[in-house]
Amino acid sequence: MTGFILNQINELNNKAEVLIKDSSILDPLSGKTRVSDILVKDGLIRSVDKFLDAGILQPAEKNASGSDKVNISSKDNLIIIDAKGFVATTSFFDMHVHLRDPGNEDEEDIESGINAAFHGGISALCCMPNTDPPLDRDYMIQYITGKARKLDFNIFPVAAMTKKMEGLEITDFGLLKESGAIALSDDGFCVQDAKLMYEIMKYSRQFDIPLILHEEDYSFSRYGLMHEGYYSSKLGLEGISSLSETLMVQRDIELAKKTKARVHFTHLSSKESVELIKKAKEDGTDITCDVTPHHLCFDDSSLNGYNAIFKVNPPLRSNHDRQALVDGIKNGIIDTISSDHAPHLEAEKNTTIKNAANGVTGMETFFSSSYTQLCSKENFQLQELIKILAYKPYKILGLKPPAIMPGEKAEITLIDTGRDVKVCKEFFSSKSANSAFIDKNLKGFIFAAINGKKIRINN
């Protein structure tokens, strides 16, 4: 087709319209679907109706090969996407992303991070504060929000809850929130001092700003390289007990009960943590949590052979733990899925496990990896997965979710659930390709994404 190039993000001119034909529109909140067309103009959804039935357009002509299937065509200033058989939903929200900007822009920057998000059908994300320097001052938050506005993308910065993320002195929560911080976290680090954590929770409650907590007791994890278990013994590597996480989860559940703070536990990794969260919720404690796709899909056996790509923090734990995380999603204990997108240079991962950096990229495989593991393998319902990815994060953060209805900004993702994704290094729009899913076939292809005046078609 003419007008834009596949696999690139393109600005639509003011006169261009996009018509998505015959898609199965899935509402994330209700889980209900309806087949209809969606007309987008100037970044807004103008109508949701059956245009062909109304005689507005004639069916597209056959393509050059003579096939009746025309996925994309153009007519004057109209881009037509034949989405019959595709699922259309509001785009996803990733609550845990490392954009590396400022400080490590060779790994990722805000623009390349947006490209990676858009590739994965994501239209909103939270960027974590462990940049260089950390996001612990108002002008640092304004730097992020200013770039996000310029690029017209929903980036919600998470500010540091302690100065320099050292776990010693509380930052100015009120000023950070006023500057645009959506939440507070020392992600990558954990406040070890229980009294200080208690004061942080009381202070966050005063300003009604949520905390996103990375839970790690350093006395158990300081020298560890992977989960403590059979494979750490087999490989002769220092292990990290799941107590490193669960002791802190237990502590902070108790502090949350006492302070009534809004607490979200991020990247859970152990069966015991899921059990603690379940009991706390049953007791009426207002807490939420997430898990990553790589913790749902892999366990510590992935490091057999010393494959440093699977070195992450918290570590991949036993298959018993992994299944408990899957069950936690299926049973509604775990609220959402976040990628913990952590870009690294090739040299930082292609080395020994001891020297390798922690983390994997995840935004571009965000949906397909979750869909493959949960829907294809565990019979989880697609509508429930969409609710987890596209609605729950907004609820957790107290934000208004997007909707596919007239007058709303176009934040639309088209999914071909019948098509596989072959993940290779050339697949990525991110500056980094340290993905746990390299050379894997995943199910659930993000065919297209629209975010305001931008459109991306993946071939």
Active-site residue set: 340
Instruction: Output the six-digit token pair for 298.
Output: 């892999």
Asked if 54 and 416 count as a contact pair (C-beta separation under 8 A), the reply is: no
Q: Which residues pair with 81 in a beta bridge?
A: 20, 72
In angstroms, how far is CA 143 from the centroid of its own chain?
A: 22
Distance (Å, rounded) from C-alpha 128 to C-alpha 158? 5
Token output for 263: 């607490």
CA 119/CA 148 separation, integer angstroms: 17
If one counts every other C-beta atom within 10 angstroms of the C-beta of residue 107, the result is: 24
In this structure, the strands spanning 44-49 and 33-41 are antiparallel
Length of the chain equals 459
Q: By three-state DSSP, how is residue 154 classified?
A: strand
Neighbouring CB atoms inside 10 A of 9's CB total 18
Asked if 268 and 245 count as a contact pair (C-beta separation under 8 A), the reply is yes
Q: How many CA atoms lie within 13 A of 411 on its CB side?
A: 22
Helix (H, G, I), strand (E, B) or coil at 27: coil
Alpha-carbon gap, residue 368 to 37, rounded angstroms: 24
The answer to whether 225 and 312 are in contact (CB under 8 A) is no
Pull the structure tokens for residue 384: 């429930």
Question: How far apart are alpha carbons 325 and 126 in whole angstroms?
Answer: 22
Alpha-carbon gap, residue 136 to 167, rounded angstroms? 12
Instruction: Name residue 416's beta-bridge partners.
Output: 445
What 3-state class would DSSP assign to 430?
A: coil
| Number of alpha carbons in the 13 Å side-chain half-sphere of residue 6 | 10
Tokens of 386: 């969409």
Query: What distance in Å separates the CA atoms of residue 169 and residue 399, rounded to the nearest whole number?
Result: 29
